[in-house]
């Protein structure tokens, strides 16, 4: 099913790449974190992380074997790689950023406030419990190796998604989420220096200046910031992706064309920009 879902958009619309369809939580079982996806509810994580002892009980990163725990990844990417080659297009891999995976695990499910995660974050700041720091270190290492595994299975580009960046203040991002993501990106770039890595912090446009040195090859920008302002903040040399408001696709043909033209014009010209939405395609978006 993952192969078919990955190929549907490219077959229908001949887009510039094929993105591997994957849940953001897919690699968590490699550390011994179990979850299930419940119809109508979404993912529920049964492994509790609420203190340092819980983190210390997780599997060691050096013992992780992705082929053993996630054998389907090699099969999916191997098949998609052949499809991408036949279609003369790129195959894009996908990983969740460490903070997002940490918060999802700590909360046990999707959360509007990330309260349990914030409690651990504040305990970490006080020095009372370093569970969050240790957990992020472990996830940063594992995610970096997971990205390498995807590349070795056929992915030509890796996207790193910080889906819960909107839960963080700039200071929290800089102290917790950023170093862990930088570590994951560094592992991928050290082992596969020619493979582009894209970083996207959803809701992180209020601290774009903190993303200039992520170590990635491109910054994806959400729809809540003017792209000309994003270009000014990030500087002229960093390629950017984005950032059309997904709701624009519910508008008229003329409105969509105007939004696309404005986005391209604001991005800085050819070679500096990959046109994209500022978040995912919304359910109910007209296919045409």
Query: Three-state SS string across 21-37, please?
Result: CCCCCCCHHHHCCCEEE
Specify whether the backbone of 168 is left (phi greater than 0), alpha (psi in -120 to 50) or beta: beta
Q: What is the pLDDT of residues 77-117, one digit of tens each?
A: 999 999 998 889 999 999 999 999 999 999 999 888 999 99
**pLDDT the model gives residue 198:** 97
Pairing of strands 90-96, 157-162: parallel
**pLDDT the model gives residue 21:** 87
- Nearest-CA neighbor of 152 among 183, 187, 180? 187
For residue 108, give both structure tokens: 């046990």
258 Cβ partners below 8 Å, 6+ apart? none
How crowded is residue 232: how many other Cβ atoms within 10 Å of its Cβ? 13
Residue 269 pLDDT > 70: no
- Nearest-CA neighbor of 84 among 130, 135, 16, 163? 16
Q: Comparing 149-153, 211-215, 250-254, 276-280, which segment has the lowest mean pLDDT?
A: 276-280
In order of 25, 103, 109, the CA distances from 113 in angstroms are: 19, 10, 12
For CA atoms 282, 284, 287, 288, the dihedral sign is negative
- The DSSP code for 245 is -
Pairing of strands 197-201, 240-244: unpaired
Q: Comparing 191-200, 225-234, 261-270, which segment has the lowest mean pLDDT?
A: 261-270
- Nearest-CA neighbor of 164 among 234, 227, 226, 113? 113
Q: What is the pLDDT of residues 2-53, one digit of tens each?
A: 788 888 877 777 778 899 988 899 999 999 999 998 887 888 999 999 999 9
**pLDDT the model gives residue 236:** 87
Q: What is the pTM of this model?
A: 0.94
Q: How far apart, in whole angstroms, are the C-alpha atoms of residue 40 and residue 189?
A: 38
Helix (H) or strand (E) run with residue 243 in it = strand 240-244
**pLDDT the model gives residue 61:** 97
Residue 158 pLDDT > 90: yes
């Amino acid at each position: 099913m993952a192969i078919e879902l990955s190929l549907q958009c490219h077959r229908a619309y001949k887009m510039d790449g094929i993105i591997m369809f994957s849940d953001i939580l897919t690699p968590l079982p490699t550390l011994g974190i179990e979850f299930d996806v419940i119809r109508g509810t979404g993912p529920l994580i049964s492994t509790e992380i609420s203190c340092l002892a819980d983190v210390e009980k997780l599997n060691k990163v050096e013992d992780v074997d992705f082929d053993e725990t996630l054998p389907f990844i090699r099969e999916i990417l191997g098949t998609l790689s052949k499809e991408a080659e036949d279609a003369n297009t790129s195959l894009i891999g996908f990983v969740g950023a460490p903070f997002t995976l940490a918060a999802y695990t700590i909360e046990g499910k999707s959360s509007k406030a990330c309260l349990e995660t914030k409690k651990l974050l504040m305990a970490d700041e006080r020095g009372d419990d370093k569970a969050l720091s240790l957990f992020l270190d472990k996830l940063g290492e594992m995610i970096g190796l997971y990205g390498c595994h995807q590349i070795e299975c056929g992915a030509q580009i890796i996207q790193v998604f910080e889906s819960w960046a909107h839960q963080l203040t700039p200071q929290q991002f800089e102290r917790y989420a950023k170093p862990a993501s930088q570590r994951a990106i560094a592992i991928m770039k050290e082992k596969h220096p020619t493979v582009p890595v894209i970083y996207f912090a959803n809701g992180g446009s209020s601290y774009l200046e903190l993303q200039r040195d992520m170590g990635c090859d491109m910054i994806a920008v959400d729809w809540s910031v003017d792209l000309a302002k994003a270009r000014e903040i990030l500087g002229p040399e960093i390629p950017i992706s984005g950032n059309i408001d997904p709701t624009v696709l519910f508008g008229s043909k003329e409105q969509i064309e105007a939004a696309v033209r404005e986005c391209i014009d604001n991005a800085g010209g050819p070679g500096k920009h990959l046109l994209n939405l500022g978040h995912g395609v919304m359910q109910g978006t007209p296919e045409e």
